[in-house]
């Protein structure tokens, strides 16, 4: 997986800064202890939440959210930047491969992946608007489970994993594949597995 174009050099610098900031807070955070912080954030995600705030202050990029393995920042009105922690680089690689291999019919339901860094160190995706409350309720009620099955992606029963692009519903987090879907990508992604600190899982040490 090669970096393409001059603009990617900037993303590489951002990825190095993110790695420094996240590592700083990761090493400062005590291992073990309570599963939830006083704010109700999973303890394993607390370093990433703090790192995201610091990274945002240093770069001017707005924090859009921090998930289980990636922090998402707004690049502009049309693009977001996904920075990994835990096994998030692998998630970036999977999303990139899913988008690249998907048919036109399946892509209709996916937020486009625009670019990716070496070993999934960063990923640029088209920016989507949050769902309305009505659509969130429809997702929670299982109205779009058939889409999840067709895509071979699970964990889509939360509104936060969906968004709107030009009034069209799309999945914005699709790295969690069903067993059948995952088998088609195993060989391809194994050649691109992250070789950086992102391959190390904080929660398993």
Residue-wise pLDDT for 160-184, tens only, equals 999 999 999 999 999 888 666 665 6
Cα separation of the two ends of the chain: 29
Per-residue pLDDT reduced to its tens digit, 32-60: 444 544 444 556 678 999 999 999 999 99
Tell me the three state secondary structure of residue 97: helix
Q: Is the dihedral of CA 114, 119, 50, 58 positive or negative?
A: negative
- Token representation of residue 112: 């486009």
Under the banding of pLDDT at 50, 70 and 90, the label for residue 159 is confident
Write the CB contacts of 133 (distance below 8 Å, at least 6 apart in sequence): none
**Mean of the per-residue pLDDT values of the chain:** 81
**Mean pLDDT on 90-95:** 92
Decide which of 165 and 149 is more confident. 165
Predicted pLDDT of residue 182:
63
Is this prediction's pTM over 0.75?
yes
DSSP state of 166: T
Nearest to 150 by CA among 108, 113, 114, 185: 108
Which range, of 9-13, 75-79, 116-120, 178-182, averages the lowest pLDDT? 178-182
Residue pair 172/125 in contact (Cβ under 8 Å)? The answer is: yes
Confidence of residue 14 (pLDDT cuts 50, 70, 90): very high
């Amino acid at each position: 997986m090669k970096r393409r174009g001059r603009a990617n050099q900037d993303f590489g610098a951002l990825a190095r800064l993110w790695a420094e900031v996240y590592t700083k807070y990761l090493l400062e955070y005590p291992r073990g202890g309570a599963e939830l912080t006083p704010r109700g954030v999973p303890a394993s995600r607390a370093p990433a939440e703090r790192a995201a705030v610091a990274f945002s202050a240093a770069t001017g990029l707005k924090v859009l959210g921090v998930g289980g393995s990636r922090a998402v920042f707004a690049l502009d009105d049309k693009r977001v930047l996904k920075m990994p922690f835990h096994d998030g680089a692998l998630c970036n690689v999977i999303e990139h491969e899913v988008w690249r291999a998907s048919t036109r019919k399946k892509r209709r339901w996916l937020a486009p992946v625009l670019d990716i860094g070496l070993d999934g160190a960063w990923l640029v995706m088209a920016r989507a608007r949050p769902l309305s409350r009505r659509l969130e309720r429809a997702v929670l009620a299982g109205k779009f489970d058939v889409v999840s099955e067709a895509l071979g992606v699970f964990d889509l029963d939360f509104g936060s994993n969906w968004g709107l692009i030009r009034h069209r519903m799309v999945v914005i987090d699709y790295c969690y594949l069903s067993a059948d879907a995952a088998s088609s990508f195993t060989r391809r992604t194994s050649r691109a597995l992250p070789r950086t600190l992102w391959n190390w899982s904080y929660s398993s040490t």
